[in-house]
Amino acid sequence: MSKNLAELISQMTLEEKAGLCTGASAWTTTPIERLEIPELICSDGPHGVRRQPNVHDMGAKSLPATCFPTASCVSASWDVDLIHEMGQALAEECIALDVDMLLGPGTNMKRSPLGGRNFEYFSEDPYMAGEMAASFINGVQSLGVGTSLKHYAANNQEFQRFSISAEVDERTLRELYLPAFETAVKKSQPWSVMCSYNKVNGTFASEHKVLLTDILKKEWGFEGLVVSDWGAVRNRVKALQAGLDWEMPGPQDRRVQAVIEAVRAGTLDESVLNESVRRILRIVFKAQETPKTGKFDIDGHHALAQKIASEGMVLLKNDGILPLKAPQHVAIIGKAAEQAHFQGGGSSHINPTKVAVPFSELQSRGGNAEFSYAEGYPADNSFQPMMIDQAVGIARSADVAVLFIALPTYKESEGYDRKDLDLTDQQIALIKAVSAAQPKCVVVLNNGSPVVMKEWIDSVPAVLEAYMMGQAGGAAVADVLYGKVNPSGKLTETFPLRLEDTPSFTNWPGETGTVHYGEGMFIGYRHYDKRKIPVQFPFGFGLSYTTFDYADITVSAKNFRDTDGLTVTARITNTGKVAGKEVVQLYVRDNEASLVRPEKELKGFAKVSLNPGESKIVRFKLDFRSFAFYHVEHKQWITEDGEFEILIAASATDIRLSETVTLKSSLVLPCILDIESTIKEWLSDPRGKMVINPIYQQIENHSRAMFSQQDRYGDNKPDTTDNLGMGDVMEMMNDMPLVSVLMWQQGTLTMPAEDMVEGLLMQARNLGK
C-alpha cells in the first residue's frame, strides 16, 4: 500500500469505506468530497462506447459513438496490432465522452455456438482469445483509459445466467476457461476484472475466493479492482471476503449498511475492507491522470471500423464468381442490404455516428452496373412467399445475385441463447429459390456465431461471412465483393455441419440449476479432432483471392529443455496474381502423455502481407506453457519428457508443414502415489518405479502362475479372468491398485499388503528428499 493511499484510507470513516465499495449510480463510484476523492465513470463496451447521458440511467439512448465490429469479426482478422489500434480509438472516444473505464473486452470461451452472447467473445480457443484480449486492453490503456476484463469465469451461456452453476472440473477450468483471462492479466494488467453472474461449482463467482483472490490476485498478480457484473452480488459481505472490491450498480444503501455492521460485529475484518478500498482508490486516481476533454475523429474512426471489418470478413466459399466483375446487372436481395445488420442486442448496443448501407456502397463501386433490389424476407418470423417470388424475378433477369442474409435479433442476442443453428425458414427458402433461378449467386452472412448451411451451400458458388461487421461494414463488404480488398479473415470458431455434432450438445443448457461441462477440455476443434467428426468449415479456415505456399520449416533445436523454449520459422510465399494476407497458425501435438490431451492445440499465429511472388519468413516463439498441461494432483502446470510435433497450418485441418522435436522437462515433481495407486501409476512415477521394480517380477511371476493354473485346472473365478493370455493378465494387473494385487498374493508376503504398500510409499517419498 503506497504511503499516500494508506494515509487517505486512515482518514476515511467506516461508512465512507463501505460506501466506496458500492457504486453511487449505474455508472459511477462514490465520490467523497471532504477528502477530495472524485468519482470514476465507466461505460458499457466492448466494441463501442455506450455512454449514457445520465449516469443514473441504464437503458436510455446512448451518446453517438463509433460502433466497431463485434469480437467475432475482430478476432477473425487474427491481427493483434489492428485490435490494439481499435483499442486506442475506443480510448479516444472515452476521453471525449468523459468515460474513465470501458467495460470490455469479453473473453469467455465459445463452449457452444448456441451462446446468445457469442458475438461479444473472441474464440473457442483460449490462446487466441487471450492474445486478442491482451492487445485490446493494451490499446485502450495506452491512452490512460481503463478496461474491464469480463466475464470471470465460466460464463458461457445466457440460460439462467444469473443463477446457474457451471459444473466444471479443475483441469478443464485451468486449461480452457481460465487461460485467456490469465494471459490478459499477465500481459496487460487491466484496471478491472468483472466477475460473472453464474456460480462456478456451486459458488457464485462474486463470492468465489479461489477465483477472485487465490488465482486472480495472488497467483496471477492482478493489481486492479474486481467489479461485479451489474446485479451479480447476492451477499455483499461474503463477496468482499472473497475479493469482490466494487459492487455495481448503485446506490445500494442496504448493502453498504451490511458491510458496516459486519465490521462492527467482527465478522468482517476491516483489513479486508481496506484492501478493497485501496484497490478502488488506486484506479480512481489513476483515471484522473487523463483529462476527459476534446472530440474524437468521427470520420477517422469510421474508416478504422471499415478496415477492421474488411480484415475480419471470412470468404468461406468461392467457385470463381468473386470478385465481381463490372459492369453487370446485379440483383441485391435481402433486408440487410438496405438495413445493415452490424451489431448485436443487449448491453453492447451502440448508437452509431453513421452507418454504411451495403446497397449504397455496392452502387458506388459498381460503375455503370445496373442494380435492382428485393427485400427477400420480413423483419419477423413470418413466411412470405410473395417476397421470395419477387426476389427470384429480379435474380433471374440479372447477371449475378447477391443475397444479404442477417440472423435476426430474435434468434441471437444477449439475454437468451439460440435454440438452433439455422437461418429462418424464409431465408433458407429464399436462398434455395434464388440460387435455382440464378446460378451466379453470392450469399453474404451477418451473424455473430455459426449457422448451419447444409441445406443450401451446395447450390451457391460463393459465401462471405461478414459477421456483425460494425457501422462501416457495408463499405467493407462492397470492397471485398468487388476485389478492392482481398479477404484475409479466418474463422476463430468451428462451423459444424449440424447442431448434434457440437461438443456440449448433450450437456446444454443444463437443468435443476446446474450445467455440467461433461465434454471437459474438448470444445471447438479439440472436440472435432478427437472424435474425428467432419465439419462444414474448420477453425482457422478462410479463403483468399490469391494462393500461398508454405515451405522450409526450421526449429531452433531438435532436442530442448522446456525452460529454454523453441523458435520455429517457416517461409510463406504468395503464389497468386494479387496481393494478399495469410494467417499462419502453429499447433503443438504431444505424441504421448500421462494424461489425455487434445490432438493438437493452437500455440502461435501470425498474419503476413505478401505481394504476388513475394516470400517472407514467419517466426514463432514457444515457451514452457506451449508444451505444458495442468496436473490436478500436482496443482501446477507440468511438462513431460517426450516427442512433440510442431504443426504449421493454414487451418486446423490443413497442416502444411511439420517437425518433430524432443522435450526434456526441467521439473522435479514430488511423489503423488498413494494407497490406491495402480501398478501402472507406480511404474510411471520415477521414484515409484525404482521402489517397485525389485518386486515387480515377483508380482508378474505369481500372476502368471496363478492364472496359468486356473486355465489348467479350471476355477470358479469371475468370467473376466477365465482363459486369458499372459499379456492380457498383466495388462489387467497393471491397471489395478498395487495393494489389491498384493492382497491376491497375501500368502507369499511377510506382512499385510496394506503395510507393505505403506512401506513402499515411504521409500518413494524419501527418495525425493
Mean pLDDT of 297-311: 98
- pLDDT for the residue 717: 47
pLDDT of residue 767: 84
Residue found under cell 466483375: 325
Whether 535 contacts 528, CB under 8 Å: yes
Strands 146-152 and 165-167: unpaired
* Amino acid (one-letter) located at 441: C
Distance from C-alpha of 71 to C-alpha of 526, rounded to nearest angstrom: 21
pLDDT for the residue 706: 74
d(Cα 682, Cα 734) in Å, to the nearest integer? 9
Q: Is 615 exposed, middle or buried (0-12, 13-18, 19+ CB in 10 A)?
A: middle
**Three-class secondary structure of residue 264 per DSSP:** helix
Mean pLDDT of the region 190-205: 98
Average pLDDT of the residues of the chain: 95
CA distance 510 to 115: 13
Say which residues have a Cβ less than 8 Å from residue 496's Cβ, sequence separation at least 6. 113, 421, 450, 452, 502, 528, 533, 535, 536
755 an active-site residue? no
CA nearest to 79, candidates 296, 304, 323: 304
Task: Answer yes or no: are the C-beta atoms of 273 and 295 closer than 8 Å.
Answer: no
> Quick one: cell of 132?
486478442
- Residues 386-443: pLDDT tens digits? 999 999 999 999 999 999 999 999 999 999 999 999 999 999 999 999 999 999 999 9
**The predicted structure's pLDDT at residue 714:** 47
Instruction: Quote the CA–CA distance of 279 and 283 in Å, as a whole number.
Output: 7
Closest CA to 661 of 675, 649, 644: 644
Mean pLDDT of 504-520: 97
Phi first, then psi: give them for residue 431, nearest 5 degrees: -60, -45
Phi, psi of 373 (to 5 degrees): -140, 140
Query: How far is it, in rounded angstroms, from Cα 345 to Cα 25?
Result: 23
pLDDT tens readout for residues 215-249: 999 999 999 999 999 999 999 999 999 999 999 99
For 452-457, the CB contacts below 8 A with 24+ separation are 452/421, 452/422, 452/495, 452/496, 452/497, 452/498, 452/499, 452/536, 453/495, 453/536, 454/497, 454/498, 454/536, 455/428, 456/428, 456/431, 456/432, 457/317, 457/536
Cα distances from 557 to residues 562, 564, 604, 719, in angstroms, run 11, 10, 18, 52
Tell me which of 44, 100, 125, 229 is the catalytic residue.
229
Residue showing cell 491481427: 79
For the stretch 689-734, pLDDT in tens is 999 998 888 888 887 777 765 544 444 444 444 445 445 777 888 8
Check: CB of residue 139 under 8 Å from CB of residue 85.
Answer: yes
Cα–Cα distances (Å) from 256 to 79, 198, 624, 717, 759, in that order, read: 44, 23, 45, 69, 57
User: d(Cα 69, Cα 48) in Å, to the nearest integer?
Assistant: 9
**What confidence score (pLDDT) does residue 727 get?**
54
- Cβ pair 143, 95 in contact under 8 A: yes
Report the pLDDT value the prediction gives residue 1, as an integer from 0 to 100.
Answer: 42
